[in-house]
Chain A
Amino acid sequence: MIKAEPRTILNFLHTYFDVVRDLFEFQSHDGLISKEAFDMIVKKHGQQNIVGKLKEYRIVRNIGSDYEMRDVYFKMMEFLLFEFKPLLPETIEKYKGAISELYMKIRLGENHDREILQERIKNISHQIREFVDLVERNAFRLLSETRDLKSNIERVEYRDKVHKASFWIEYYILPLNKILDVNHSESVTNKLVEVSEYANRKRLDFGDETIRTEFEKLYSQLIQTNQDLLRQSKILTNELLPLLERIRTESLILTGFIEFLRHPYRTQTPPLLKGSRTMVYAKDMLFKVKEFFEQFENQESVYYEESDAQFDKWIFDRDLFKTQLNAELPVKDFFGWCSQMLLKEFPNIETEKFFAITGLLFDEDLNVEFPKKDERTIIETLNSRINLPKIKIETPAKI
């Protein structure tokens, strides 16, 4: 039982990350952290006072007088630093046994206890997840090793390169390929395809709904798993198996590119000038838009006081004007007609009222005819003088 809050442990890891990383690296290399190395690392960082906390938070534990980083932290550091230890395929192959056994028990126990069946499905899912994770980590590490060989930054002799490549191929790449080869009846991938087909059937026809849902989840997981494994298998076939052939050639340029691709965002690339482009909108558009929206952010209360003063309340009666227009068709000058209609009712023409009536022009029933010559009419409103074309409204054709 750890007394500290999870967040406190994470904060501790964040604060003393450099110490934990050094401990991790030492253990990756030597398998164990000797007492001398442990003392040297904490002393190097001037953090002798954290030894107690490292034990209290169960980050390290004593092995005799030496130390060992606990597996969960070791794996987390591997993941964070992307520094995976290559696993011998024998370690990965053990999943075949676990998955096969659970699969057999699920099939044989279909009609027995519901809860144990549900647990077994969850367990097989967990085993599959672990298996895929290990395959991906191993493939990543093998890729990294083989890229090292291809890059050959240390410029080792061709004979030594072949020796190294043969070692990787014989002990790691070929056996991993066997595990992933879907056409091989004994491969784990082949077994997973079998489980996937079974889960597919059961998610549709199993009697119990809860179990059906579990099979559905397992099936979805297996679809993704099979895609991921296929991708790893492709990498093995295209990139790792032809390793001997690939390391025959060497190029300084390719070495540079491989080294660059290790940390593409940490390496300075050729300093090309960023071209300036002419934008169709103004450069200060962003600020203007911001300014526009900012005015609505703090809205002040507005009080409206009703006034008793009389004002002209004129509402455009569309139907009335349309009936009058239809009665007077054909009209030779539509805008002139609008102004006449207003003058019948008011002593002057207000622009707003005039435009309200001209809206009739958009009525689809009207047979509008535009002038062939440049014939204009001038309408004088209270505050404007509007120059408009003479638009003719014809009597609608009778069908």
Chain B
Amino acid sequence: MVYPTHHKRIVEDLMGGKFILSNEDHYNSLKENDKFYQEFFKLSFDLELVIKPEFSYLLSKESQENFSRDVSIFVAILCYELDKDGQNFMEMLDYHEFNYEEIDRYFENSSFIDLIENNKTLKDQDSRRTLINGMARRNIVHKSFEDRFVFTQAHRVFIEFAKELAMRKMAVSQPEATNEN
């Protein structure tokens, strides 16, 4: 049997919990062989493959995954603080190059300080560096220098998550209005 090009890299990256981004060589091969890979991951590992126009990743069966929770808290606090600072947080996530000092300033002055201090991946500068390095390994951020990074398109997973959560809460809070819409 002939496997698609970059097969090994595709499987290794996805099974390593990495996002494959649309600007990477093996993304095209993955997208061209969409059906094959959907079936491959389902039959081999019982995992669901998500292919979006900008990135691709595997869904976990484990609902209590700490890394995802920690990144969600990180992104949520960052967006809240950016907005408080008068910034357009969506533009910042799309285009801004963050540096560690800036991140530390936002987190250390945040009113979510109790939450931050009680989360072992966010509680201090070193923990946050480790989390950002973990995000870089998964392609959620790209480290441009040792102390600088930009978010990749993979951050949209967390944005979508926030949107869906808001919709669900709003549906509970104003069921009639939502039904009318």
Contact = CB atoms under 8 A, between A and B. Distances in A.
Interface stretch (A263-271, A279-287, A355-363): A263-271
B72 interface: yes
B20 interface: no
B132 interface: no
Contacts of B67: 272, 274
B65 A269 contact: yes
B169 A259 contact: yes
Interface in A227-266: 231, 234-235, 238-239, 242, 245-246, 249, 251-261, 264-265
B44 interface: no
Point out which of A231, A270, A274 has the most chain B C-beta atoms below 10 A from its C-beta: A270
B98 interface: no
22 contacts: A143-B111, A153-B166, A155-B170, A155-B174, A239-B84, A251-B83, A252-B162, A252-B166, A252-B167, A253-B89, A254-B83, A255-B169, A256-B162, A259-B165, A260-B73, A261-B73, A264-B69, A269-B68, A271-B59, A271-B60, A275-B17, A275-B138
B166 A259 contact: yes
B15 interface: yes
B100 interface: no
Given A253-B90, A273-B17, 6 more contacts: A242-B84, A246-B83, A252-B162, A256-B165, A260-B161, A271-B61
A276 interface: yes
A154 interface: yes
5 closest Cβ pairs, A-B complex = A275-B17, A256-B162, A256-B166, A257-B76, A255-B166
Contacts of A265: 69
Interface in A182-231: 231
A251 B79 CA distance: 11
A255 B16 CA distance: 32
Indicate the size class of the contact surface on chain B: 35 or more
Nearest to A236: B111
B111 A239 contact: yes
Given A254-B79, A276-B16, A235 B111 contact: yes
B109 interface: yes
A274 B17 CA distance: 5
Given A234-B109, A261-B73, A273 B58 contact: yes
A272 to B, nearest CB: 4
Contacts of A271: 59-63, 65, 68
B121 to A, nearest CB: 12
B116 to A, nearest CB: 11
